[in-house]
Chain A
Amino acid sequence: MYKIVRKQELNPTVTLMEIEAPLIARKAEPGQFIIFRAKEDSERVPLTIADFDREKGTVTIIFQIVGGATMELNTLNEGDCLHDFVGPLGKASETDGLKKVAVVGGGVGCAIAFPIAKKLHNLGCEVHSIVGFRNKDLVILEDDFKAVSDKLCMMTDDGSYGTKGLVTNALEQLIQEGNAYDEVIAIGPVIMMKFVAQLTKKYNIKTIVSMNPIMIDGTGMCGGCRLTVGGETKFACVDGPDFDGHLVDFDEAMHRGTMYRDFETHAREASCNLLNKEVR
């Protein structure tokens, strides 16, 4: 089954797990995702692949503990198994012909931005990474990004680490300094991707965003993950998750993302109570 071979707390709300899944590791590419179910009665949840090791046969996921499903996943430890782990789903990020790219990551989205930065770096592309977090305590993968980036801009909302400001401030500065990017790749909260796309539109730089909508099967069956891209209905699971940031209807995606907010709040509280009981 899908054994957890390594578990590491990256910060108090973000966990890394390296999972034994040799067939998926053999095929995985940056930009693709998996769907997991921690236990037999768990919800199906999509997570973009953070890393993979073809030789070891492992796939790494990094998740923020935000709801019932991720809380449940976080109760599992090294040596435990996930009940289900399916992938690699979605299309891989396109890297052909890219010579100079700005990779923008926000919060836990950095976990997904990292493998694409790494792949571009390995392909000989000049990579400028801009990563943003709310504060110093939430910073993840700094060394990893350093290792694959020709330039790294660390941003925090409160200035407790790196430069105070938003990722868009740093990106705009780099553009104004004369950096001519073939492409900007932005991965993070929908609101961040929206503003990155607005900025790059101004400078006419092609921008790719990675969407993470609500999803059930992830194989093109349920239609729950639909987005409007350039006025057309697209399905993140089979048409994406990468899309042209200048065409995505971000406001609609944000609305759709809140569909089950009440349920999730309730589930989180229920899980908290349940887990507290287990601890006692």
Chain B
Amino acid sequence: MAIKRNMDPKKCPMPVQDPMVRRNNFDEVALGYTYEMAVNEAKRCLNCKNKPCTTGCPVQIDIPAFIERVANEDMEGAYQIIARSSSLPAVCGRVCPQEKQCESKCVRGIKGEAVGIGRLERFVADWHRENCKEAPAVPASNGHKVAIIGAGPSGLTAAGDLAKLGYKVTVYEALHLAGGVLVYGIPEFRLPKMIVQKEIDNLKAIGVDIETNMVIGKILTIDELFDMGNEAIYIGSGAGLPRFMNIPGESLKGVYSANEYLTRINLMKAYKPGSKTPIKHSKRVAVVGGGNVAMDAARSAKRMGAEEVYIVYRRGMEELPARKEEVEHAEEEGIIFKTLTNPVEVLGNEAGEVCGMRCVEMELGEPDASGRRRPIVKEGSEFVLDVDTMIMSIGTSPNPLIRSTTPGLETNSRGCIVTDGENGLTTREGVYAGGDAVTGAATVILAMGAGKAAAKAIDEYIQNK
């Protein structure tokens, strides 16, 4: 069917909750396109032959093909195209940095704004969830067993891809709930947990087993997983220990790692009245760091009732590593950006509680090894920021539990598992790894891309054995 293209240079804006309202609740910020918006936006896609957008997608979704179906109002058809490549479309449509990936390659982006690919992906996944009640078909078994460590985005993607090929997949999760960073890290207002649960239910429906409360490296080792008949193992154990700055006062009451703060709120539901997990109800909060996790922590603190929330970052606004949309959302909600600022000491009162943060101002010098301009302390710029809580969001180093219990598994000087190129093969035969455990802290979609590549490599390895 011929489609009348929509030549509007701008993409249809995402309807959102009003910032003054949403900063007081944990409901989802972005409300999603309506049916009409989605169809209209889909008509902006030129359906290019060489599909540059697809090259920007870590899981290689056939983007023009699914958008074409949306334009033709075949939503289930669109979903089936996405589902061929992605096991978690409702998640990716919400948390992928599309502006740096698929949308950055979009031809419409040259003379205007790119097609809203992420928003359309989200719409299709939500449409499917709400309208299609049919249970997915269980693939025929191929008689092979694979174990996956970690039920986060990487592990779940690998599990989905392998299960679709007929493998008997068991995913071992250390926490009491599957989802990894999608449930402990990313807040409800950015990714509702009901949606994550539904994606996990879909995987279970095609035969994936998920065993929670299983800390691999402790209760079972990699070698024991092989003894249990698994022919290959994928390690997607994720990020690990939070980093601190090693400045005085970091052990005071009221200093959190972003991981702890977000885990209390998200996984343990401390934002809900009556939650049995305690959290500090802060008045003035400084979040140290400028990534997506820092934005999540700051926006969560605001919603938990803090009056003033600062993002303290040693470089400038331009250098913030967080997605632009997250920064904008944070600004709209009243988060104060103290850029070119670096803490040097956390101050405490007699009760051992945080009562301030001594900072210095910074200026940008010559570019460093990462290509970003190096921040330099401005002489005599010291000042005290009046806060009662400090949340450290300056990254993590990989979890030590598996590397310390798996002979022959090589890690690099930063503790990341060493893998051979893109397929994720480690220094142990049959053991693959990907996601933050290999790269250090990165994004959900990169972890999913690694899970996908490893699933393909595992299939080839087992089939050629």
A264 to B277, CA, bound (A): 10
A228 touches B (CB below 8 Å) = yes
Q: With A42-B276, A89-B218, A264-B278 known to touch, is A222 a contact of B259 (CB < 8 Å)?
A: yes
From the candidates B219, B238, B239, name the one contacting A27 in the complex (CB within 8 A).
B219
Nearest chain B residue, comparing its CB with the CB of A86 = B213
- B269: chain A residues within 8 A (beta carbon): 41
In the complex, the answer to whether A85 meets B218 with C-beta atoms within 8 Å is no
Q: Knowing A69-B276, A252-B251, A256-B251 touch, does A221 contact B268 (C-beta < 8 A)?
A: no
A219 / chain B contacts, CB cutoff of 8 Å: 174-175, 215, 399, 401
Task: Tell me the smallest distance from the CB of B296 to a CB of chain A, in Å.
Answer: 15
CB closest residue in chain A, given B404: A238
Residues on the A chain within 8 Å of B263, using CB: 216-217, 221-222
- Say yes or no for B98: interface residue by CB 8 A criterion: no
Decide yes or no whether A263 CB sits under 8 A from chain B. Answer: yes
Q: What residues on A are CB-neighbors of B251 within 8 Å?
A: 226-228, 233, 249, 252, 255-256
B168-205 Cβ-contact flags toward A at 8 Å (1 or 0): 00000011100000001000000000000000000000
Given contacts A37-B176, A216-B260, A221-B259, A87 and B278 within 8 Å (CB-CB): no
Q: Are A89 and B215 interface neighbours, CB within 8 A?
A: yes
Contact in complex: B246, A233 (CB < 8 Å): yes
Distance in Å: Cβ of B332 to nearest Cβ of chain A? 29
Query: Chain A at the B interface: mostly helix, strand, loop or mixed?
Result: mixed
Count the A residues whose beta carbon is within 8 Å of the partner chain — how many?
Answer: 42
Known A-B contacts A43-B268, A217-B174; the reply to A223 vs B220 at CB < 8 A is: no
B209-224 residues with Cβ-Cβ distance < 8 A to A are 212-215, 218-220
Q: Which residues of A contact B260 (CB under 8 A)?
A: 216, 222-224
Residues from 67 to 100 in B contacting A, C-beta threshold 8 Å: none
Q: Which of B264, B278, B280 has the most CB of A within 10 A?
A: B278
Give the shortest distance, in Å, between A99 (CB) and chain B (any CB): 28
Does A259 make an interface contact (CB < 8 A)?
Answer: yes
B219 touches A217 (CB 8 A): no
A27 to B401, CA, bound (A): 15
Q: Are A238 and B400 within 8 A (Cβ)?
A: yes
Q: Is the CB of A44 within 8 A of B253?
A: no
User: B residues within 8 A CB of A238?
Assistant: 241, 399-401
Write the chain B residue with the least CB distance to A253. B251
CB distance from A224 to the nearest CB of B (A): 5
Smallest Cβ-Cβ distance to B213: which chain A residue = A86
Chain B: interface residue count, which band? Answer: 35 or more
Task: Tell whether, in the assembled complex, residue B276 and residue A41 are in contact, meaning their CB atoms are under 8 Å apart.
Answer: yes
Task: Collect the chain A residues with CB atoms within 8 Å of residue B268's CB.
Answer: 43-44, 216
Contact B257 A86 (CB under 8 A): no
B441 vs chain A, min Cβ distance (A): 12
B241 adjacent to A235 (CB under 8 Å): yes
What is the bound-complex CA distance between A259 and B255, given in angstroms? 10
CB of B213 within 8 A of CB of A216, answer no
Q: How far is the CB of A273 from chain B (nearest CB, A)?
A: 13
* A43 partner residues in chain B, CB cutoff 8 A: 268, 276-277
**Bound Cα distance A86, B174 (Å):** 8
- In the complex, the answer to whether A88 meets B259 with C-beta atoms within 8 Å is no
Given contacts A44-B268, A219-B174, A219-B401, contact A255 B219 (CB under 8 A): no
Query: Is there a chain B Cβ closer than 8 Å to A174's Cβ?
Result: no
Residue interface bits A50-69, CB-to-B below 8 A is 1, else 0: 00000000000000000011
Contacts of B275 in A (CB 8 A): 41
Residue in chain B with minimal CB distance to A83: B176
A86-B215, A222-B242, A260-B278 known; A217+B175 contact, CB < 8 A: yes
Q: Mark B229-255, 1 if CB is under 8 A from A, else 0.
A: 000000000111110101000111100
CA distance A83 to B246 in the complex (A): 38
CA distance A267 to B246 in the complex (A): 34
Q: Is A11 an interface residue (CB 8 A)?
A: no
Given A233-B250, A255-B352, decide whether A87 and B276 contact each other with a Cβ distance below 8 A: no
**Bound-complex Cα distance A262 to B250 (A):** 22
Quick one: CB contact mask for B262-279 with A, threshold 8 Å, 1 for yes? 011001110000011110
Q: Select from chain B the residue with minimum beta-carbon distance to A263.
A: B278
**Residues of A in contact with B (beta carbons under 8 Å apart):** 23-24, 27, 37, 41-44, 68-69, 72, 83-89, 216-217, 219-224, 226-228, 233, 235, 238, 249, 252, 255-256, 258-260, 263-264, 267
- Beyond the given pairs A72-B276, A85-B213, A223-B257, 18 more chain A to chain B contacts, judged by CB atoms under 8 angstroms and listed by A's residue number, are A24-B219, A41-B275, A42-B276, A43-B276, A44-B176, A68-B276, A83-B176, A216-B277, A217-B175, A217-B263, A221-B399, A222-B260, A233-B244, A233-B250, A233-B251, A238-B401, A256-B251, A260-B278
16 intermolecular pairs with C-beta atoms under 8 Å apart: A24-B219, A27-B218, A42-B276, A72-B276, A87-B215, A219-B215, A219-B399, A220-B240, A221-B263, A221-B399, A222-B260, A238-B399, A238-B400, A255-B352, A256-B251, A267-B278
